[in-house]
Structure 1
Amino acid sequence: MPNRYVIVGAGAIGGAVGGRLHQAGRPVVLVARGEHLEVLRRDGLRLRTPDEDVRLDVPVVGGPDELELTPDDVLVFATKTQQVDAALRTWADVDVHADGRVVGPAGALLPVLTALNGVAAEPMALRYFSRVVGVCVWMPSVHLTPGEVIIRGGPTSGMLHLGSVPAGREHDLLAGVSADLVAATLDAPRPDDVMPWKYRKLISNLANGLQALLGAGGGSKDLATALEGEARTVLAAAGIEVTPDAEEAAARSAGFSMHHVPGVPDDVGGSTWQSLQRGTGNVETDYLNGEIARIAHGIGQEAPYNARLASLVRQAAARGQQPGAVTAAEVAEALGLA
């Protein structure tokens, strides 16, 4: 039987991956909530790309009580990192059915893909699931409107590096998932160890909080450089392997590029910007910049720039602040970089 992908968190990444898999004829179930769920049930998923604007009748549920899991299911967690622990706990003890009977819980039987930013989701997932596949997500997608996902990449929609955690397992599963993603217009490399790729992506994501505070065109290059430099120092001191810049650049150049989507402003920001724009009240910065602070504290060091930025963005989200509400000079002063 082919894999069925149960995508928990049908936002920018989950909705985009799910929509593309559905278009490729792969079985997909989206898991959503709130108004997004209502619109998906009523109207289907609106998928907008540089080349198309379509509505897809993708199956959607509000939770595990609305479907029956089988051994052919792959759970894809595409929430924000601050939401994933609760999602993992929700699904870990759900019964898996085969031949009309329960054969065990999802946590013991089903593979999970952690398709979200940062490096914290994999150890979280291993608390509840024995089969964990880390995913390093490079996919320029946007979710601001209920029922709608925008993909800005082309000619491929994005690149998802896949690898078991710990490394060296799940070869057959990875081959099948990679083939399905390639059929769905996504690149899906399988490095020997995916975590160095995820740490390199973590470095790239450290400026997400700056973009959220300052707006998409806020002029934060010098601040981003300071955050990245501090992070590289911390990761090196902790002995954490990071994919070399040249290797990442080569992979990026062989993959997708950004394209204009008709009717969509080109200055729409990334995931943290989108969270502030939607007024979600929470952001993933604690698992990006905050992750650098955590690693530093764990080896008896400090990461003041990243720790202070995480605090600034956390407070901005709590008070409903919109992107662009502060200036680069104000942020620099708050970080101690003025």
Structure 2
Amino acid sequence: MPKRYVIIGAGAIGGSVGGRLHQAGRDVVLVARGQHLDVLRNEGLRLRTPDEDVTLRVPAVAGPDELVLSDDDVLVFATKTQQVEAALVAWADAPVRGGDGSEGTAGSRLPALMALNGVASEAMALRWFARVVGVCLWLPSVHLTPGEVIIRGGPRSGMLHLGSVPAARETTLLAEVAADLEAANFDVPLPADVMPWKYRKLISNLANGLQALLGAGGGSAPLARAVDAEARAVLDAAGIEVTTDAEESAARAAAFTMHHVPGVPDDVGGSTWQSLQRGTGNVETDYLNGEIARIAHAHGTEAPLNTRLASLVRRAAARGQQPGEISADELAVALGLESADAS
């Protein structure tokens, strides 16, 4: 049966995935809020890529009360991790009607695809959903303006590894969803276990906080190496499997490279940078750098660099700090390093 994709959180990731699925002829509903929802409803979703600038009339709703769910629905959670628990609670008890007239809830019957950075959302989702799929995101996208998302990858829009959690379940579902996403211009590997890929992506996302504080061109490479090295030591000590750098680089290079999008500055930053730039008041670093701190604490060790960085970004978001308001040397001192050249 054809599936309907309910994209919960139609920002950079959700809007990109939903927009591309809609272009591929799949049934899609975007879930958003505030001014973004108003623009989606009244004007449509503006999707900008290296090759096109189009407006898509994708149905948009505020929540589960505006939909009638069926067994053919796939819920794609694409909020930030600090927002996903509220979304899971809001959707878990939504009624679902089967084609045979039976009734149940979204949590008991529908698959929940966790299209979020970090590694925490899958375990969170299992509290409310019986069918959970992890999604490892390599999708360079931007959402700064209500009603608009920008995809910067090409020729494919990105790469989405899919895997059920626990592993080795949902084989039929994964094949069907992968086929739809591939038709929507994504590469979709199906590893036996998606979590090592998500831990590797977590390491890549640890520098998001540095970029958010310093600005997109803030010269954070030495600091990033120090944060990266600490995280790898923590994960290794905890015995957590991580996909190798070579595996990740080969897979990603085969899928896409970054391209210029007409009218969009090339120095636009990543997801945490975008959160500070938009002044959302909250950021996901507690589930990126903070996840490294949590793992360290759970195993009786420390992760001072990642712990301090999570705190600095959290406080910056709370007071409305914009990217680039601190220098690399100032940030190094705040992290307990002598200078930005420390590694």
TM-score category of the 2 structures, normalised to the smaller one: over 0.9
CA distance in 1, matches of 2:56, 2:99: 31
Letter in 2 for 1:128: W
Cα shift readout 1:140-183 (whole Å, capped 9, x = no counterpart)? 00000000000000000000000000000000000000000000
The answer to whether the Cα contact below 8 Å between 1:47 and 1:56 also exists between their aligned partners in 2 is yes
Q: What residue is the counterpart of 1:145 in the other structure?
A: 145
Q: What residue is the counterpart of 1:196 in the other structure?
A: 196
CA distance in 2, matches of 1:79, 1:221: 28
Are 2:329 and 1:329 equivalent residues in the alignment?
yes
Q: What residue is the counterpart of 1:16 in the other structure?
A: 16
Cα shift readout 1:168-215 (whole Å, capped 9, x = no counterpart)? 000000000000000000000000000000000000000000000000
Superposition TM-score, scaled by structure 2 size: 0.98
Matches within 5 A, 1:87-98: 87-98=87-98
Q: CA deviation at 1:97?
A: 1.3
Q: CA deviation at 1:99?
A: 4.5
Cα shift readout 1:246-286 (whole Å, capped 9, x = no counterpart)? 11111011110000000000000000000000000000000
CA distance in 1, matches of 2:261, 2:246: 29
Q: What residue is the counterpart of 1:235 in the other structure?
A: 235
Q: What residue is the counterpart of 2:69 in the other structure?
A: 69
Q: What residue is the counterpart of 2:251 in the other structure?
A: 251
Letter in 2 for 1:303: A
CA distance in 2, matches of 1:222, 1:24: 42
The answer to whether the Cα contact below 8 Å between 2:73 and 2:110 also exists between their aligned partners in 1 is yes
Superposition TM-score, scaled by structure 1 size: 0.99
The answer to whether the Cα contact below 8 Å between 1:95 and 1:102 also exists between their aligned partners in 2 is no
The answer to whether the Cα contact below 8 Å between 2:283 and 2:313 also exists between their aligned partners in 1 is yes
CA distance in 2, matches of 1:249, 1:88: 32
Matches within 5 A, 1:28-47: 28-47=28-47
Q: What residue is the counterpart of 1:155 in the other structure?
A: 155
Aligned to 1:254, what secondary structure does the other structure show?
A: helix
Q: CA deviation at 1:320?
A: 0.3
> How many residue pairs were aligned?
338
CA distance in 1, matches of 2:239, 2:11: 34
Q: What residue is the counterpart of 1:110 in the other structure?
A: 110
Letter in 2 for 1:133: V
Q: What residue is the counterpart of 1:309 in the other structure?
A: 309
The answer to whether the Cα contact below 8 Å between 2:3 and 2:74 also exists between their aligned partners in 1 is yes
Moved over 3 A (4+): 99-102
Aligned to 1:163, what secondary structure does the other structure show?
A: strand
Are 2:295 and 1:295 equivalent residues in the alignment?
yes
Letter in 2 for 1:234: V
Q: CA deviation at 1:100?
A: 8.4
| Distance change (3 Å), C-alpha of 1:100 and 1:61 | farther
CA distance in 2, matches of 1:302, 1:12: 33
CA distance in 2, matches of 1:152, 1:244: 25
Q: CA deviation at 1:34?
A: 0.2
Letter in 1 for 2:40: L
CA distance in 2, matches of 1:99, 1:265: 48
Q: What residue is the counterpart of 2:341 in the other structure?
A: none
* Structure 2 alignment gaps of length 5 or more: 339-343
The answer to whether the Cα contact below 8 Å between 1:136 and 1:197 also exists between their aligned partners in 2 is yes
Q: CA deviation at 1:98?
A: 2.8
Letter in 2 for 1:141: S
